[in-house]
Structures are given as structure tokens and as C-alpha cells.
A and B are shown apart, each in its own frame.
Chain A
């Protein structure tokens, strides 16, 4: 079992470009979560998804950010027109049940230049 796979590990984008972050959950896990972490800060919840459904997006900025978890393929976190403040580590996690421990990926480190 390969665990939660995130790619790319590092992503550099110029201001105004789009960033696409991918997450493949563990096999058998139907719950996917995205968190953002700034240096020396805690994990901030962004969005919780199940297959083809957004369950809770209350942590996601209203503009420029979107997430999906299609029937086939990985979950995608999309950031349009990136700004320097979007630079952070973005972690994806999955779980078999909502009340289970989460398995996290290694994260995608986004740098906006």
C-alpha cells in the first residue's frame, strides 16, 4: 500500500499563474482532506471531500481556490491566479471513516515568485 501520494512535491509558479495539486488517497479510503501549513504554524483546514462530493469547504478562500474528487482519478486542489501569500505547504490526508486517524501525504510545497 503506497500510502497517500501527493504530487508534485515542489511547485514554483509566477504570480497570476494557476497551481494544480494532486492527491491520491490510500486504497480503501473514501474521505479526503486538504490542509495548508505556513512555516512555523499549524495545519489549517481547507476542504473535506468524498467521491464526487464536497462535504465541507468552510476553510477554503471564497475566490481562486477550488477542489474536486472525481469518481475516477486523484483529488485536485486548484489555485487560480496565485499570489505570493499562497506560498505554503499543502497537505492532503485520507481516512476510511470520518472518525478514524488520518493518513497524510508528504505535501506539496508551493512557492509563488
Chain B
């Protein structure tokens, strides 16, 4: 069966460290993958899109990698801040013509 897996356990890190979140998928061949941030009670906010022919994408303190052989994407936040605390969702183009979302990983950055 098709699956998108994100670590359901919260990730707790100290301010200033790099946060690394993982998105694994099975039985998909996505043309692109996206990452979103969601705060409690709010809609998700688009952060980055990476295509299958791109290995890495950066935006300010954010970096995304996409390994189509491992079927994995890593999402990094460098120099993390308490304001980065949120749930981060990965989303795949799964051929259904709309994005399929993972269940998200909650990040908590401690001051």
C-alpha cells in the first residue's frame, strides 16, 4: 500500500541547533515534494517545493533534500528559534492530481 511516514513523536531541540525532520514514502514516484508549516488552529503555510530532478533546495534557514532512490526527504532548520516551534508536514504529488499529506512532526524548540 502507499504510505507517507513522518515521525509522530515530537522533536525537542535547543535553540540554535539544527532541526532535522524526515519524510519517508513507499510505493509512490512523486514528481515533486512540498513542505508546510502548521500552527495550532491555523491552516498550513507553504515553505518549499523540491522536484524529483533536484537533490537539494534552500531558502534562508531552511534546507530540503530529496532522495528518490531512498524515497526520503529531509527538512532542516538551521539556527533554530523558539518561533520555529510548529508542526511540519510533508506533501507528495501522488498522481491523484492533488497533494497527499503526511501526518506531520511537531517540533519544539526550547529557549
Q: Which residues of A contact B (CB under 8 A)?
A: 4, 33, 35, 41-45, 48, 55-56, 58, 91, 93, 98-107
Q: How far is the CA of A44 from the CA of B32 in the complex (A)?
A: 19
Q: How far does the Cβ of B21 sit from chain A's closest Cβ, in whole Å?
A: 14
User: Are B96 and A43 in contact, CB atoms less than 8 angstroms apart?
Assistant: no
Closest to A106 in B: B43
The 10 A-B pairs with the shortest beta carbon distances in the complex, nearest first, are A104-B43, A101-B46, A42-B103, A48-B98, A43-B101, A56-B97, A104-B44, A33-B98, A42-B101, A91-B43
**Contact pick for B42, options A43, A100, A103, A106, CB 8 Å:** A106
**Which residues of B lie under 8 Å from residue A102 when comparing CB positions?**
34, 36, 44, 46, 99
Closest to A58 in B: B96
Q: Give the bracket for the number of chain B residues in contact with chain A.
A: 20 to 34
User: Are A43 and B31 in contact, CB atoms less than 8 angstroms apart?
Assistant: no
User: For the complex, is B65 an interface residue (Cβ under 8 Å from A)?
Assistant: no
